[in-house]
Amino acid sequence: MAKDGTNRGGRRVKAGSKPDALADKITRGAPARRMELPDFTDDLTDLDTENIGDGVELEGMDMPSPDDYLSAQQKDGKPLGADEIYKETWLWLKERGCDRLVNKRLLESYSEAFARYIQCSEAVSKYGLLGKHPTTGAAIASPFVQLSLNFQKQANLLWYEIYDIVKQNCTEPFEGSPQDSVMEQLLRSRRNM
């Protein structure tokens, strides 16, 4: 502790060895903990079923629907397309049994950031790497390049959070990523221009 009463120094954030994946711990035979979500089906056996009546017609819902802003129409008239990334990523999570562990807002943020990255990459392809300064008219670097780098960094940070949740809680080994198909989509859209 410093003279002014504040704590300084200590371990740096994200320093040290990273924890092993759950699947790796299980294959090694090491003690492992998996985050268990409560199963409410056992509580249903204690219900008195004589006074239930006809009940309500319930509609099942597998995937939480993405918010409208993920498919909002952009200035160029096209939809953003983040809703498709959201659906693909959610299905990827569901295949690994981790769909209930990832917050909906985290998934939406990742989807929007990656869709914006694709949008900026398309703009770089369309307008080029150079732009024109608004007052002097001199050549400058395109602002879309810096924007795409920022959105890519943001999408990667969010993806690492999602992937870490899957890595820590998935009991089966897995390969592939929903990003693979998104990158294919990006390459196809460049070919169609």
- pLDDT band per the 50, 70, 90 thresholds, residue 184: low
- pLDDT computed for residue 40 by the predictor: 64
| Spatial separation of the C-alpha atoms in residues 109 and 84, rounded to whole Å | 13
Residue reference for tokens 């249903």:
44
What's the whole-model pTM score? 0.58
Q: pLDDT band at 61, cuts 50/70/90? A: very low
**pLDDT at residue 34 tops 70:** yes
Residue 60: is its pLDDT beyond 50?
A: no
Quick one: which of 166, 144, 137, 173 has its CA closest to 26? 173
Compare 119 and 34 and report the one with higher pLDDT: 119
* Short-list 87, 88, 158, CA closest to 117: 158
DSSP single-letter state for residue 79: B
The pLDDT of residue 119 is 92
Average pLDDT, stretch 50-56? Answer: 63
Smallest CA-to-CA distance from 143 within 155, 135, 133 is with: 133
pLDDT at position 89 is 92
